[in-house]
Amino acid sequence: MLRDLIAIPSINPRDELSFARPFGETAVIDHLEDVLARSRFDVERQTACPGRDNLLARVDGVDPSRVLLLESHVDTVGVEGYRGDPFDPVLRDGRVYGRGSCDDKAQVAAMVAALADVTSSGRPQHTVLLVLAVGEEYNFTGARALVESGLGADGAVVGEPTELQVITAHKGAVRMRCITEGVAAHSSEPSAGVNAIYRMARVLAALERHAGALVGRQPHARLGTPTLSVGTIAGGRDTNIVPDRCVISLDRRVLPGEDSGTVIAEIQRAVLDDPGLDFPVEFVVDLADHPMETPEGATITRSLCAACEAVRGHSQVSAVRYGTDASKFAAAGIPSVVFGAGSIRQAHTVDEYVEVEQVWQATAVLRRLLEQGLLG
């Protein structure tokens, strides 16, 4: 199943409006709809945005009063620079190679296989909602649509490559652009214009001071301090023109306990309250994503740890720095953890792979979780 999924390209189309192969998730969602229908699941498509559907399957449990959400994403990052054919799923030395192998198709396969296994001979303990979502790699489009549709559950396991660790905390992120405007003029007479790049230099100095102050803050026990990094800059049209516009983009990682709205206001104040800034600066927020922190005593954490212990003899709770769909569910009131086969170090790489043994283990742990249900 994993190799079939890798062979169907599903690169996140970002903001593209045409989803010509290898972009877009439709082909892989169509394929998974067939796979789920063959297991006689009730399958439903949910349009996340035009041309892109999440796939939902619901299986009633022995005890239908509680709902367990299993979610993983079907989109992948791009394949620029990939070594070999990213869509030819090679099995070698106990690994499956290919784009999406560990991020996130191994988790899709493990979740589908675990649910199909359990339902082939009975029912899960609690009702299971399996969601195969679009759009995780950029803007969390699928998860956002799910939450907006009023999705409810008593706990969620979000599939990502965690090396079979149970992840209970991760950072969120705010991504913004800052724009300065000037007045274009011939470069032989700069005083006739206003230089938008000089203006941006003052914005950058203010942001660098703000970034320095952030790393001096009280660190989160597992995730360190908040960080801010300016990632891109663009401005000017030619060497002989005084630039009338400059744009930078920045990435601010948000810790559990921080609020994205407050973080955005802080950045704006750090810039606009700077005494050297006597000109307007425009801010555009491109992403305001939540952090996540689920208590170790939470039912979902204890339940998944118990399933890990039953299958593997041990469990490990940990935190990661990257963002996932889980924080969207957590913010909507669904206690969530992240779990799956493979390592994030192999995700987004030019020779992405996943250890087959870990995929079997992840499947066995999820199967156990479905049989055992959420603990009391």
The footprint of Zn ion (CB under 5 A) covers: 103-104, 160
28 vs 118 by CB, closer to Zn ion: 28
Residue 193's φ and ψ, nearest 5 degrees, are: -120, -175
Residue type, 132: L
104 vs 258 by CB, closer to Zn ion: 104
C-alpha to C-alpha distance for 332 and 140, rounded to whole angstroms: 14
25 vs 103 by CB, closer to Zn ion: 103
Least distance between Zn ion and beta carbon 94 (Å): 22
103 vs 163 by CB, closer to Zn ion: 103
Least distance between Zn ion and beta carbon 304 (Å): 18
C-alpha to C-alpha distance for 116 and 124, rounded to whole angstroms: 10
Contact of 25 with 134, CB cutoff 8 Å: yes
Least distance between Zn ion and beta carbon 371 (Å): 26
Contact of 40 with 14, CB cutoff 8 Å: no
C-alpha to C-alpha distance for 22 and 38, rounded to whole angstroms: 26
77 vs 375 by CB, closer to Zn ion: 77
C-alpha to C-alpha distance for 178 and 183, rounded to whole angstroms: 17
Least distance between Zn ion and beta carbon 253 (Å): 17
155-159 and 336-339 as β-strands: parallel, antiparallel, unpaired? parallel
Count of CB atoms situated within 10 Å of the CB of 39: 16
Token code pair at residue 366: 């999820």
Least distance between Zn ion and beta carbon 89 (Å): 17
Least distance between Zn ion and beta carbon 358 (Å): 15
C-alpha to C-alpha distance for 156 and 338, rounded to whole angstroms: 8
136 vs 244 by CB, closer to Zn ion: 136
